[in-house]
Every structure is written in structure tokens, then in C-alpha cells.
Amino acid sequence: MRQLFGQIDALLRGSLTRREELRRGQVLVSGRTLILAALLLGGTYGAFMGLYSILRPGSPAPLQLPVTVVKVPLLFLLTLAVTMPSLYVFSTLASSRLR
């Protein structure tokens, strides 16, 4: 888990996507790391959204927290799955060397 947090930190700071590696067509981030980061960070964001709903006075939905923790990462990943074909086409048209 500590290694995953280290990779997320390096990704957010931009050290895994340096310009030199991108020019050579290399990305130093694995797809597994990106998916785990999306699930972990999306779940955390969903937890805080659900907490806001639960901690309000007179909250009618106590199940809002677990539903939001699951819903937000799935929304992020499904959005990626829907937009991936168009992102691929636009990167091909822009002559991107990344595969």
C-alpha cells in the first residue's frame, strides 16, 4: 500500500511522465497503478461526499455513504471506458507516438 501511495505521489508530481520519456514513447506508469489510483482516490472522494450528506441535520439517507464510495470510482472508470475510443482516434490524428 505504501508503494502505491508513493507511485500516486510521483504521478501527481509529474516525475513519472517526464518529457524525455514521452518523446521516446514510454510511459513509466502501469495501467494497474492508474486503475488502483482511480479506485482509491475516487472512493476517498466519494466517502467525503457521503459524509457531507450523512452529517447534515435531518439527513434522510444513511446509506448515502457506502453508495457514494462505490458510485464515484465506477463513474470515473466508466467515463474513461466510454471516452477511450475517441481519445485513441484523436491521439492517432495528432501523430502521437504513445501506444
93-to-19, 88, 89 alpha-carbon distances in Å: 20, 9, 6
Q: What is the pLDDT of residue 47?
A: 93
**What does the alpha-carbon distance between residue 77 and residue 3 come to, in Å, rounded to a whole number?**
22
pTM: 0.71
Average pLDDT over residues 47-66: 83
Q: What is the pLDDT of residue 99?
A: 56
Q: What is the pLDDT of residue 72?
A: 93
Residue 19 in grid coordinates: 518529457
Average pLDDT over residues 13-19: 79
